[in-house]
Structure 1
Amino acid sequence: MDLAPKKSQPESLSTLKSTAEQRLKTFMHEVTGRALVMMESATQGQHGIAMDLVQEAFISLHKSYADKSTDEWYPLFYTILNNKLQDWRRKEARRAQPFSFFRKVSLDDDDVEQNDLVDERALNPAEFLDQAMTAEEIQEAIAKLPVRQQQAFMLRAWEGFDTQTTAQIMNCSEGSVKTHYHRAIQALRQTLAHMNPYLGGSSE
């Protein structure tokens, strides 16, 4: 019995596309909040810019990596987001210094690598929490950090990436990640110590 050829390939592609779009919606729902906090801190509270950067990163992720697994999306998304943030920062730096296109723009004043640091475990953000401490206070403390320290801390502590993956996302060496992360932890402990005596500050 002859059967008409089945149009299995177009249907399969359509299903794959639909599945990818559904996965992206789920992925966006999961990471948007944390990504926005990271970008708002990095852009000094400019919510509109932060939202644009996050949305552009999602668009690029779907356009170039829709066929990747959800697990692969996490480092890919933050790599794209970091690149877009650095592009925005360069444009802002050049806008502030009109003739900076004649020289390399330095975005970070703390980008000095310490080679003698032991790789610290990724902290649980709850370790910074206390009944008297609000999420807003913690976010304000993070926002005071240099941008690369913010990124290292939030990628490691909030997202749980290891040092190697964080270095790939931030496009720097593992030693630099260790340095940024270590300095971020020290600065946050100092800033938040008066709120939480368990971080080493005085309870008085």
Structure 2
Amino acid sequence: MGDDDNKVTSEEIGASPAVTFNLDDCTIDAQERAALGIDVAYVQWRADFRRTVIAANVLNRPWRSVFEADMMFSIVAHRWLAGRAITHKELATYFEIFVTEATVSRHLDDMEESGMIVRQTDPDDRRRIFLLPTRRLETIGHGYLQARIRMMREHGFVWNGGEAAGGAKAIDPARAPE
């Protein structure tokens, strides 16, 4: 999160009443509504995309969980673009609260079977398995990312040219700034 992000605490969540309220009383601002609109547009695009991938016979069956599979693809690709491939064990830590490591493994089996990722053993430590994106995932990623960019523009977000990241490569949030 950036410095200007307000983190919601567990106390604030617990203190918020579980009752509905009038739209006039809503405190969500225009930028937050735009982000919400992007999420909804993404879900709509994602459903169409899944139908396309299944029709192309890339998948033998739909992925087990849309959220989990999409996030795993994103994390694998993002870490690879940041110059540091992610390991199976590291990926599992992102999901440890709501899925087991076995579930992550089943997702990875599906992804490997569909040609989206490859597993590569670390030559320096044969116990570590790196997850690497394939050209197929890159092709799909272009479509996905272009759709996300279009949705963001439709909701008023503007690209700053990567100035915050130095324009060089993906920022790896798991690494401390150098």
Greater C-alpha Rg:
1
TM over 0.5: no
* TM-score (norm. length: structure 2): 0.30
Comparing both chains, which one has the higher relative contact order based on Cα–Cα distances under 8 Å and sequence gaps of 6 or more? 2
Q: TM-score, normalised by structure 1?
A: 0.27
